[in-house]
Structure 1
């Protein structure tokens, strides 16, 4: 007796392999995420630096324009001196009346002064600048001041000092010009500017989002002294004599604050995406392993079923014949071949082994089977040597992947 053991449906296999595949995918995704996060951080930093650099251009231009406008007061003072030489007398009174209107609204101008022969005789405003009155510029003890004065005398042009601590206190810069009347040296005109007041007139002090400094030749002279190590963005402030200052700025919370926030968002989103992809890879590999195992088991079962079918087909005592829909033999078992005296019957038709008197019954068999009913009849077949013998035939149709087939069970009645 042949016993067939049914196999259970396969459970999901390949968990270890799927986990290894998912782990490999996770490592690759983490590496990609790290590289992408670094790129994102650099991009955000570059954008922030560009944005901040653009935002300080306007204050830098405003500062430059204000200084240029104030230095232009030297021309007004020169005109006053030339006019006063034509109308002598009451020079002090006329000076005060003139510079009062010239100074109006210019809170960043500390001093408007005239120094006939190099000695300050006319100073406005006098309050707070008493130490300036009577000061001899030609014999100043400070090297940088003497250098500026000598340059003014030599060139006849405006000289602009470096920022320094003023005699009357406070950080300032001084614009000077040597004045000549009728081809002779008359003296010097000076405009002293207060650096903190110049900066206060710009929007910079009101910005809480940045820290800033003013520098000259890479050295900070006003503002936050720690910006040199903070990778500041720089805007140029053009000045007279071809000089320039540098406006340095950094975010008040540092460059890493915004980049860190962007990095966290990017990293969280990337990590979630990587986790989702890892899960999908795991499910895909697990499902692939399951399908592969299912195919293997199905193939194995099919082979087992086919082997069992052939064993049953070949060992049957009755003759078994399988026909196509047109009546051609597709397969015959050994019993069928033996009773018909043949070694094989494949590709034969009914006319080759059915007695002519029984051919109508064979046609009836085709019709009945095609209608889905079972056929039963007694007929006569022919052996290979032409000998007729009685048979009992039962038949029916069955469906296969290639179409309908007809099965005939033939029993020798001789």
Structure 2
């Protein structure tokens, strides 16, 4: 035998009922929040990609402009080397190189900024340099035997290509860093030597105006061998925009990239912050409207529950009132029936002839009162019938109305049987009318019951 189940405490039942009422609104609010979150992630991703494309396009324009300016600055200086080569070829043939070189070199220095020195190296040994001040250490330097990395290789490339070669930035003998452009001078049947110009890298960068690069972008200029000329090497580690700068014997790369990342640059954009603020306000509005709608529905459901509970209490009170009223109505009906019986006994005693001594009209009135009281007592408004009527509104009880009609029908039949065929015509007609009326009342209350009552006296039934 299993132990009886312990009843759930009232507090726990209330908590469970409250939880069941709350979980649906909470689930709807959570779904709305999830949809907004997914929408934000998708829209933010799309907007970030748009901003990245815009920033890359802007950075590409900047990189292209810088590369074009740098290429022009370098080509302008390389053109001076070519002019110097032509001058040395002519002057060395006439034997006036030492006299004319300073004047020509001064003109070259004035044509562009950033020229540190101009030199001529017959047999690849520097013999002439301008200006002499500060460049004394250059004199006597053998270009083919210079120990600095890549220096001799640059001279050999110039011999092979017969064009200008660029080396550097390289550490200079006289101190500092410089960019060396060199070209071979050819004499009759063999190389005469070489000429070179040393340029200040800072002056070239200032001419290009790398200061116009936005603060959130970094740049780097590197040679084809990977040597850094200018800028920040970190710009090469991200996803840079690269512009190629062609040189006679190679190329340089100009790289432009954000200091963080393109996505980080897009997230820091003021327009993206504006998008975040607008989406936040829109989401807050949607969440508020959803909360108000759910709260209103929850309030309406609570009001419906309260009204239903009030109606239930009112229904119970009405049923109690109807029961008490029906019970109270039985007392007058019993009193009517009792007084009708007393009146019958009194009239019988006065007449001294029993039932037959009463006048038919008195008998009909008395029996009509008794039948009415009996029918009202057995009607669904009575004590047992009221409960059935409350459970099934609009439906009469066969146990109430039909029972009262059957009782009246039986009394009328007994009156008719007591009279018999020997009774007078008036008495028989009155009994037939009462029986016919009781039969119609019974059939009206319960149509399923068989009709009868006038079959034994067809003549009276037809006269009625």
Farther-moved stretch of structure 1 (121-130 vs 56-65):
121-130
**Unaligned runs of at least 5 residues, structure 1:** 1-12, 318-337, 344-386, 390-414
Compute the displacement of 1:62 (Å): 0.8
Give 1:267's aligned residue.
276
Give 1:191's aligned residue.
197
Q: For 1:277-356, what aligned pairs fall within 5 Å after superposition?
A: 277-287=286-296, 311=393
CA contact (8 A) 1:23 1:278 kept: no
TM-score scaled by structure 1? 0.62
Choose 1 or 2 for highest CA Rg: 2
1:180 pairs with 2:186: yes
| Partner SS, residue 136 of structure 2 | coil
Cα 1:142–1:61, aligned 2, differ >3 Å: closer, same or farther?
Answer: same
Give 1:130's aligned residue.
136
| Aligned pair partner of 1:154 in 146, 156, 160 | 160
Q: Distance in 2 between matches of 1:59 and 1:227?
A: 15
Give 2:252's aligned residue.
244
Compute the displacement of 1:43 (Å): 3.5
Structure having the higher helix fraction is 2
Give 1:43's aligned residue.
50
Cα 1:261–1:157, aligned 2, differ >3 Å: closer, same or farther?
Answer: closer
Give 2:87's aligned residue.
80
Q: Distance in 1 between matches of 2:295 and 2:101?
A: 96
Work out which structure has the larger RCO, using CA pairs closer than 8 Å and 6 or more positions apart in sequence: 1
Cα 1:81–1:257, aligned 2, differ >3 Å: closer, same or farther?
Answer: closer
Cα 1:247–1:311, aligned 2, differ >3 Å: closer, same or farther?
Answer: closer
Give 1:202's aligned residue.
208
Cα 1:294–1:261, aligned 2, differ >3 Å: closer, same or farther?
Answer: same
Q: Distance in 2 between matches of 1:206 and 1:56?
A: 11
Give 2:103's aligned residue.
97
CA contact (8 A) 1:213 1:225 kept: yes
1:55 pairs with 2:62: yes
CA contact (8 A) 1:57 1:235 kept: yes
Q: For 1:362-381, what aligned pairs fall within 5 Å after superposition?
A: none
Q: Distance in 1 between matches of 2:282 and 2:107?
A: 69
1:223 pairs with 2:206: no
Farther-moved stretch of structure 1 (183-192 vs 240-249):
240-249
CA contact (8 A) 2:85 2:195 kept: yes
CA contact (8 A) 1:103 1:109 kept: yes
CA contact (8 A) 2:63 2:254 kept: no
| Partner SS, residue 167 of structure 1 | coil
CA contact (8 A) 1:232 1:248 kept: yes
Cα 1:65–1:32, aligned 2, differ >3 Å: closer, same or farther?
Answer: same
Q: Distance in 2 between matches of 1:170 and 1:275?
A: 62
Cα 1:243–1:26, aligned 2, differ >3 Å: closer, same or farther?
Answer: same
CA contact (8 A) 1:74 1:177 kept: yes
Q: Distance in 2 between matches of 1:234 and 1:66?
A: 18
Farther-moved stretch of structure 1 (251-260 vs 42-51):
251-260
CA contact (8 A) 1:208 1:252 kept: no
Farther-moved stretch of structure 1 (204-213 vs 161-170):
204-213
CA offsets 1:56-98 (integer angstroms, 9 cap, x no match): 2212211111111211122212221232245x34422211112
| Partner SS, residue 73 of structure 1 | helix
Compute the displacement of 1:189 (Å): 1.7
CA contact (8 A) 1:45 1:259 kept: no
Compute the displacement of 1:201 (Å): 0.9
CA offsets 1:113-153 (integer angstroms, 9 cap, x no match): 22111112222232322222222212222341111111222
